[in-house]
Amino acid sequence: MLRNGKDIASGTTLRTQVCIVGSGQAGITAAWCLQRAGIRVVLIEGSRAQPTLQDSWPDKALLYAGEAAGLFATNERDFLTSPLYQGQSPSERERYFGGTSTHWGGQSRPLDPVDFEAREGFPGWPITRADLDPYYAQAVPLCMLHGQFADDNFSAGYWTRVLGLDGAAMQEIDDFDPCMYQFMGGAFLNFATRVFPDGKTIGDSAADVILNASLLAIEAGEGSVGGLRVASMDDATPPGVATEFRIEADAYVLACGAVANAQQLLLSDIGNEHDQVGRNFLCHPLSMGVSVGVYGFPSAPLSDLMAGNDASGGSWRDANGVRVTGRFQLTADALRDNAIGNCWMRAYSAAAYFEMAPNPESRITLTNTTDKVFGQPQVRIDWRLGALDRKTYERSTALFAAAIKPEGGTVVAPQWASIERAVVVNGHHIGTTRMSADPALGVVDANLRVHSMDNLYVAGSSVFASTGVSNPTFTIITLSIRLAEHLAGRLGAAPAA
């Protein structure tokens, strides 16, 4: 069911089992899985029911504006509110039904086992890759990706067989693994309109989806959330408040994206007993307009496969049209031995793209200014790279140069200063409510429950303890499937057949 918050009278209190806030891939996946399990779900989404994505921008500009500091002040001033595809920089965040799934790229790969390990500069996760494997396996068909997860279907070896390249010799290079990325197809990208395996969109499902319903406050008592205060907007330009109502649930899930998840916890002063909320804002820095030059690297088949182009210059695809491309990534041993983060290297010159190390000074806080619709404090976002990030860039480019030298390849790596001046966040907003075993070192536990609250959960990449280099959303979806199973178990529902 799909409805508009302004049709809910002020003073109403809605009752449900689970209330999810935010309708990106994190929130919609959790809602779909929960209603399939027989759980009553209300999914609220702050955006008004706009006819087009472009029309959502005025609301976004009003509600998401704030202060940009650190690298944001110099490299990506408009990060918080940028309109869709302004110049070269695509819109980073959406206030829209479907969230950022309305224009993401669909590139998907699980995190690697080493990404979950504690190693120098990286805290480790309280779960392992093996803990997520059963849920990645469920995410593959849900995302209409290729094959079976159990078949190692993101490895280069697997894809050389699928694409009929296995007869040709595959070059191996020191310290790097060839890793494959699959792409979800067009009709499945936008989670607001996508048809799920049961033939329904989320709006057709049993979930009660309320658009134009913005979370204003999380009402918490001693260790427990009692309700959410929610408001809708009227049709004026700029909008004003139309109605205000409450939602009470057995459990609550914040799925507003990494910036707004932290903002909501800070606004209600929840989960921040150890000053962890908003810290470790991470991403996969990408240098725009400054490339790492790669010359003379050997030809097919490995480099062609890794470049994502088949012999005719088209994309590699399986028989069902699932597109695939490859990257060279550092091996687990190389990461441990060199004490650095990971990177993407390609068989041709490309922008630098690497794993940002956790950095508590890279963070989201609240400002003294307020938004013009609900009058709430805005966010200040301060993105900072550190010495470990420079080491990751310099060491990984040097390792790639050494690895391809025996094959006749060379690498020309720009100085760190020019990379740092050119990096943008690149759509992957990670950290700010990270997962930790120790409440003093993070915000949520291994089940994504806020450490200090018995019924408040967080979904999305804000819970990642480190970024790896895989695009985050396949793992976001996987974690939401796992969260739904946890909540269904806790609330006593049996999964639907």
Ligand X SMILES: Cc1cc2nc3c(=O)[nH]c(=O)nc-3n(C[C@H](O)[C@H](O)[C@H](O)COP(=O)(O)OP(=O)(O)OC[C@H]3O[C@@H](n4cnc5c(N)ncnc54)[C@H](O)[C@@H]3O)c2cc1C
Does 99 bind ligand X (CB under 6 A)? Our answer is yes
DSSP letters of 283-315? ---EEEEEEEEEES---TTHHHHHHTB-TTSSB
To the nearest whole angstrom, how small is the minimum distance from the Cβ of residue 268 to ligand X? 11
Nearest CA to 173 out of 390, 326, 351 is that of: 326
Span near ligand X by CB under 6 A; candidates 89-97, 125-133, 310-318, 327-335: 89-97
Does 105 bind ligand X (CB under 6 A)? Our answer is yes
Rounded Cα distance between 39 and 237, Å, is 37
* Residue 480 neighbours by CB under 8 Å, 6+ apart: 25, 26, 27, 29, 30, 33, 255, 459
DSSP letters of 141-187? HHTT-SS-GGGTTTBHHHHHHHTT-TTSPPP--TTEEEEEEEE--GG
Return the residue of 16, 17, 23, 205 that touches ligand X, per CB under 6 A: 23
* Residue 299 neighbours by CB under 8 Å, 6+ apart: none
Nearest CA to 186 out of 321, 54, 331, 38 is that of: 321
- Total residues in contact with ligand X, by rule CB under 6 A: 41
Q: % helix / strand / coil in the chain, to the nearest 5?
A: 30, 25, 45
Does 208 bind ligand X (CB under 6 A)? Our answer is no
Question: Which residue lies nearer to ligand X by CB, 323 or 428?
Answer: 428
Return the residue of 106, 409, 442, 468 that touches ligand X, per CB under 6 A: 106
Is residue 262 within 8 Å of residue 277, measured between CB atoms? yes
Span near ligand X by CB under 6 A; candidates 134-142, 144-152, 253-261, 378-386: 253-261
Question: Which residue lies nearer to ligand X by CB, 27 or 126?
Answer: 27
Does 255 bind ligand X (CB under 6 A)? Our answer is yes
Return the residue of 5, 36, 37, 45 that touches ligand X, per CB under 6 A: 45
To the nearest whole angstrom, how small is the minimum distance from the Cβ of residue 460 to ligand X? 3
User: Residue for token digits 């940028």?
Assistant: 82
Nearest CA to 351 out of 298, 424, 301, 406 is that of: 424
- 284 strand-pairing partners: none
Rounded Cα distance between 307 and 346, Å, is 7
Span near ligand X by CB under 6 A; candidates 99-107, 232-240, 345-353, 377-385: 99-107
Rounded Cα distance between 231 and 8, Å, is 10
Q: Which two tokens stand for residue 129?
A: 């890759």
To the nearest whole angstrom, how small is the minimum distance from the Cβ of residue 59 to ligand X? 9
Span near ligand X by CB under 6 A; candidates 5-13, 154-162, 403-411, 465-473: 465-473
Question: Which residue lies nearer to ligand X by CB, 344 or 474?
Answer: 474
Does 47 bind ligand X (CB under 6 A)? Our answer is yes
Return the residue of 100, 291, 359, 478 that touches ligand X, per CB under 6 A: 100
Does 92 bind ligand X (CB under 6 A)? Our answer is yes
Does 353 bind ligand X (CB under 6 A)? Our answer is no
Question: Which residue lies nearer to ligand X by CB, 123 or 468?
Answer: 468
To the nearest whole angstrom, how small is the minimum distance from the Cβ of residue 70 to ligand X? 19
| Closest residue by beta carbon to ligand X | 24
Does 82 bind ligand X (CB under 6 A)? Our answer is no
Under DSSP, the state recorded for 450 is: B
**Under rule CB under 6 A, which residues in 403-462 are in contact with ligand X?**
427-428, 460-461
Span near ligand X by CB under 6 A; candidates 16-24, 136-144, 284-292, 388-396: 16-24
* Residue 373 neighbours by CB under 8 Å, 6+ apart: 59, 62, 63, 233, 238, 239, 240, 241
To the nearest whole angstrom, how small is the minimum distance from the Cβ of residue 476 to ligand X? 5
Does 34 bind ligand X (CB under 6 A)? Our answer is no
Question: Which residue lies nearer to ligand X by CB, 101 or 392?
Answer: 101
* Residue 91 neighbours by CB under 8 Å, 6+ apart: 82, 83, 84, 85, 100, 103
Return the residue of 44, 277, 413, 450 that touches ligand X, per CB under 6 A: 44
Does 256 bind ligand X (CB under 6 A)? Our answer is yes
To the nearest whole angstrom, how small is the minimum distance from the Cβ of residue 254 to ligand X? 9
Rounded Cα distance between 298 and 300, Å, is 7
| Residue 254 half-sphere exposure toward CB, CA atoms < 13 A | 36
Under DSSP, the state recorded for 357 is: P
Binding site for ligand X (CB under 6 A): 21-27, 44-47, 90, 92-96, 99-101, 103-108, 214-215, 255-257, 260, 427-428, 460-461, 471-474, 476
